[in-house]
Amino acid sequence: MRWRWREVCPVAHAQKTQSAPGTLSPDARNEKQPFYGEHQAGILTPQQAAMMLVAFDVLASDKADLERLFRLLTQRFAFLTQGGAAPETPNPRLPPLDSGILGGYIAPDNLTITLSVGHSLFDERFGLAPQMPKKLQKMTRFPNDSLDAALCHGDVLLQICANTQDTVIHALRDIIKHTPDLLSVRWKREGFISDHAARSKGKRDADKFAGL
């Protein structure tokens, strides 16, 4: 199955020969994946139509802030993947609590948010070096790679997938809004397949949208 990338990837190029994922039925918008379980959703989950990979630098200054970050991400992921009413803004003079992209009700839309951590998270900032997995290494350049340093590495990587692109963008904006002092976007990449391909049950499970 061939992936379409919205931006040029340093190691793979593809032509945009089809439109982005379209509007789905109400039933499809209410599809959901369990958030809690033995494994993170988004690894063995059947392939959704829209995807975004986002790498972040962690701004937390100590281990307590890092713990606060992961607790906050857990709360946001749990809400966004299960759906619910958009939060109301108590003071109309203040910025809204939600971007409003999805309206008054945030449908789960088969959303999954899969988190991984990079080698750099285990540096001296948080004292996590003893806990670093032995096989976790900083990504190195392969022969014939032409890499942009601004599009490499990161402390935290999120793979955000859903039936529609609007849900993916809404999830990212929600996460950024709730973590202004804890995370900074380093780079992102978007991709999609057709709705038909995503809904061809049993053909292929998407463990990585980068085609790896």
- Predicted TM-score (pTM) of the model is 0.79
- Sequential pLDDT tens for the chain (212 residues): 444 444 333 333 333 334 444 556 777 888 999 999 988 999 989 999 999 999 999 999 999 999 999 999 999 999 999 999 998 888 888 888 889 899 999 999 999 999 999 999 999 999 999 999 999 988 888 888 888 888 889 999 999 999 999 999 999 999 999 999 999 999 999 998 877 666 665 444 444 445 44
What is the DSSP-derived secondary structure letter of residue 109?
Answer: T
Q: Is 176 exposed, middle or buried (0-12, 13-18, 19+ CB in 10 A)?
A: middle
Reported as half-sphere exposure (CB side, CA atoms, 13 A), residue 109 has a value of 26
Q: Is 30 exposed, middle or buried (0-12, 13-18, 19+ CB in 10 A)?
A: middle
Could you tell me which CATH class the domain 26-35+46-134+148-198 is placed in? alpha beta
| Antiparallel, parallel or unpaired: β 4-5 and 183-192 | antiparallel
Structure tokens at 107: 């449908």
What is the distance between the alpha carbons of residues 115 and 69, in angstroms, rounded to a whole number? 13
Structural domain spans, the chain:
26-35+46-134+148-198
